[in-house]
Amino acid sequence: MKFEYHVEGGDFLNAGNASGNIKKVLKKLNVDSGVLKRVVVALYEAEVNIVAHAYRGNITADISPQKIEIVLDDEGPGIPDIGLAMQQGYSTASTKVREMGFGAGMGLPNIKANTDDLKIESVVGKGTKITLLFNLA
């Protein structure tokens, strides 16, 4: 079953709507609370990344009995050096974003730690597509 959400860059007020919604869905599906927590934490980080860094993006969650696959596809600046972005504490977030309590770095490593598989594809100047995978079976 598929769920789609749209995220606007800079809309911090609504950051977390998609992860909040997915959480409700997963609770209704009786997903193990440990898995639920990992999905929500990883998705929230990734969702905030779109809000903080990109112009806009779409989130698609595909839930099947075997796995949960969530694709976050954004139009934005892209990540020039994915290896660097994966390092703890590295951040390119603007001062404005940091003042709002976001952008402390560690977004991607934290996402990775919570997923069973993380794929990142990025084109500088165009956007970033990240795929979060959680195994259920």
Partner 1 sequence: MVTRNKKPFFHHALRINKNKCIGCTHCMRTCPTDAIRIRNGKASVNPDKCVDCGMCMISCKHDAIIVEQDDFQRIFDYKCRVALVPSVLMGQFDENSGTKSIFEGLKSVGFTHVYEVSRASSLIEEAQDEYEQRSDVEFPLISSFCPAVIRLIQVRFPSLLKHITLIKPPLDIAAAHCRHELEKTGIDSSDIGIFYVSPCAAKIVAIKHPVGEKKSAVDGVINMDLIYNKIYSFVSNDKADSGKLCRPADNTHVTWELTGGECIRRDNHAMAVDGIHNVIEILDKLENGELDENITFLELRACDESCAGGILVPGNRFLTVRNLIQREVLPPCRKTADKNDAACLNCRLFGKCGSEYLPEAFKLEKLQPRSMLSLDDDFEKALEKMEHVDTIMQVLPNIDCGMCGSPSCQSLAEDIARGVAELDQCVFLRITATKDGEDVKTLKESVRNVWGRINNKE
Interactions with partner 1, residue window 100-129 (CB under 8 A): 101
Residue 7 Cβ vs partner 1, minimum distance, rounded to whole Å: 15
Rounded to whole angstroms, how far apart are CA atoms 125 and 109? 23
Q: Which residues contact 65 (CB under 8 A, 6 or more apart)?
A: 136, 137
Q: Does 41 bind partner 1 (CB under 8 A)?
A: yes
Tell which one of 62, 64, 81, 116 touches partner 1 (CB under 8 A).
64
Instruction: List, edge to edge, every strand of the sheet that includes 56-63.
Output: 2-8, 56-63, 67-75, 127-135, 117-123
- Please give the size of the binding site for partner 1, defined by CB under 8 A: 24
Q: Does 51 bind partner 1 (CB under 8 A)?
A: no
Provide the mask over 6-35, with x wherever binding to partner 1 is found by CB under 8 A and - wherever it is not.
----------x--xx--x-x-xxxxx-xx-
**Apex 128 CA angle, 123 and 131, nearest 5:** 130
The CB density around residue 19, as the number of other CB atoms within 10 Å, is 22
- Which residues are at the interface with partner 1 (CB under 8 A)? 1, 16, 19-20, 23, 25, 27-31, 33-34, 36-37, 40-41, 44-45, 63-65, 101, 136
